[in-house]
């Protein structure tokens, strides 16, 4: 119960008010023990009040392992830990007025994962002594999932599910800057589905879309490392960024990529390169100096891709400065 100069009637009224609030709410005493665990909090967490009242076990409602809740940080004055524990937060200049945070909670007893908006603030008596800390919770899971879905859509190609041109542009710029600083190799593979217009004309645009999805999946599977990126560049063109990849490594990936598409065994009876769907790959693999821009890397890979097409398609060509030569040829 609330102590000090609050009358018993006022205490009972405050407790009943909090217990029946529609907002999930719990209250800690100055020692960090649960004083109130309202019915809305029970419904949210599937943890009954009698299980946590008088204990410091309220964390079990939200996490699988012991860790501080926001109210614990306020009670103990450990606000320096908020960055580590919460995905987002807003602390006022005077923390004792209140604090707001957001975080994913595991909710083990409710068997669900929720994104919670949390508001927390202390209660003082007339002498200015902290007598309780109140934490209220709001389930924002649907809103958060919608935000993440929109963010994902902004960076993914709608047809293939691969990262889109925007994601590629952002990644290439970042990877190029890193390679320039570290003086490391950076590889860009530019891939084009051979004779794709003829494929669409022969099999129809729906079949063409299905073909691009299969090619995209095969391309994506070749981006094996966490730092690699496979993306749809546009139309029937795909790109793969390979940071810190040597020319030998780039050759292996590009050759494996050609083989993967060939092994799909998708019929293409009007292709002039093979009896099935194939791709041509242009490779730019350089240690970039500070003068190299992302557009330069793309132009190098595009020149190499042009050479692959001129030499019969269904093969890999490397960009070599100052002249362009076919460094690797893969005819399947």
What residues are annotated to the active site?
236
- Does residue 279 contact residue 315 with C-beta atoms inside 8 Å? no
DSSP label at 75?
H
CB under 8 Å to 71, separation ≥6 — which residues?
26, 28, 58, 120, 133, 134, 135
Number of other residues whose CB lies within 10 A of the CB of residue 303: 18
Backbone region of residue 111 per phi and psi (left: phi > 0; alpha: psi in -120 to 50; beta: other values): left
Q: Please say whether the beta carbons of 184 and 190 come within 8 A.
A: no
Task: State the pairing for strand pair 316-318/279-286.
Answer: parallel
Token readout for 74 is 């306020």
Q: Look at strands 88-91 and 99-105 and give their pairing.
A: antiparallel
DSSP H/E element including 241: strand 237-243
Are the C-beta atoms of 19 and 36 separated by less than 8 Å?
A: yes
């Amino acid at each position: 119960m609330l102590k000090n100069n609050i009358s018993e009637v006022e205490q009972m009224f405050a407790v009943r008010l909090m217990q029946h609030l529609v907002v999930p709410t719990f209250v800690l005493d100055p020692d960090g023990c649960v004083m109130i665990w309202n019915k809305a909090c029970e419904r949210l967490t599937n943890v009954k009040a009698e299980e946590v009242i008088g204990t410091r076990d309220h964390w079990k409602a939200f996490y699988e392992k012991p860790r501080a809740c926001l109210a614990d940080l306020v009670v103990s004055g450990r606000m320096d830990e908020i960055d580590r524990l919460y995905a987002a937060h807003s602390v006022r200049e005077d923390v004792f007025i209140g604090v707001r945070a957001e975080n994913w909670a595991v909710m083990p007893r409710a068997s669900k994962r929720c994104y919670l908006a949390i508001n927390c603030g202390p209660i003082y008596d007339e002498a200015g002594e902290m007598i309780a800390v109140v934490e209220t919770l709001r389930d924002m899971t649907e809103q958060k999932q919608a935000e993440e879905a929109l963010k994902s859509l902004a960076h993914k190609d709608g047809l293939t599910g691969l990262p889109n041109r925007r994601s590629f542009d952002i990644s290439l710029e970042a990877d190029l800057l890193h390679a320039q600083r570290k003086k490391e190799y950076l590889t860009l593979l530019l891939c084009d589905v051979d004779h794709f217009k003829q494929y669409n004309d022969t099999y129809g645009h729906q079949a063409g879309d299905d073909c691009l999805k299969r090619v995209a999946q095969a391309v994506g599977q070749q981006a094996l490392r966490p730092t690699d990126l496979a993306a749809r560049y546009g139309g029937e063109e795909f790109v793969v960024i390979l940071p810190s990849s040597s020319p030998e490594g780039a050759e292996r990936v590009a050759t494996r990529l050609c083989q993967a598409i060939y092994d799909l065994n998708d019929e293409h009876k009007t292709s002039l390169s093979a009896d099935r769907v194939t791709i041509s790959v242009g490779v730019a693999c350089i240690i970039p100096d500070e003068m190299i821009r992302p557009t330069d890397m793309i132009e190098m890979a595009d020149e190499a891709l042009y050479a692959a097409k001129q030499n019969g398609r269904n093969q890999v060509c490397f960009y070599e400065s100052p002249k362009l030569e076919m460094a690797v040829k893969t005819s399947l």
